[in-house]
Amino acid sequence: MIDNKSKFTHLHSQGLSEIVFEIAKIMGLDDETSNKLKIAGYLHDLGKMVVPNEILNKEGKLTKEEFYIIKSHPYYTKLILDQIPVFKGEISNWAGNHHERVDRSGYPEKLGKDELSLLDRVVGICDVYQSLIEDRPYRKGLGQKEALNIISDMVKNGLFLKEEFELLKRAVV
């Protein structure tokens, strides 16, 4: 649904879903967990349905107010998914926590390492990677090596852990 709302995120959720599913296979997760993870990848940006298109598709720098609105989408993702019994719990958390960071600098809840599961962090790091390699209104997509270098710096700065970064590299290289 969200990929159809904004041309700049077209296929974003599909790409993220494929990467997290590949990581699930690398980790040797059972089919049920792997499929739930894939669903979380597809649904992670569902909350963007409440974000106006003029903000989603803006080519220039976002204002503070616009960025605040964008930052609310993971909250709405989790809120929506928690209303559906089959999605409440793991899928809702994996999808809704994709902008949280282990150093508590993420959003919307400022969760840290102790509150984030490995699979929360996997969805988050895959979202960053998928976003970096895609064209956006404000820039062209980056190459795989450049994207991984940026994420490596994020690991060095304490935003992600080496564990999920190594899984990402195995899935995309």
CATH assignment of the domain containing 61 = 1.10.3210.10
Considering only CA atoms, which of 169, 137, 135, 139 is closest in space to residue 151? 169
Considering only CA atoms, which of 47, 66, 69, 58 is closest in space to residue 127? 47
Q: In terms of residue numbers, what domain contains 107?
A: 2-172
116 three-class SS: coil
* Model pLDDT for residues 89-105, shown as the tens digit of each residue: 999 999 999 999 999 99
66 CB-near residues (< 8 Å, 6+ apart): 55, 58
Is 48 in the active site?
A: yes
Considering only CA atoms, which of 56, 98, 101 is closest in space to residue 78? 98
User: How many domains, the chain?
Assistant: 1
Question: Per the residue annotation, which of 48, 78, 110, 140 is the catalytic one?
Answer: 48
pTM for this entry: 0.93
Considering only CA atoms, which of 9, 15, 20 is closest in space to residue 47? 9
* Model pLDDT for residues 21-53, shown as the tens digit of each residue: 999 999 999 999 999 999 999 999 999 999 998
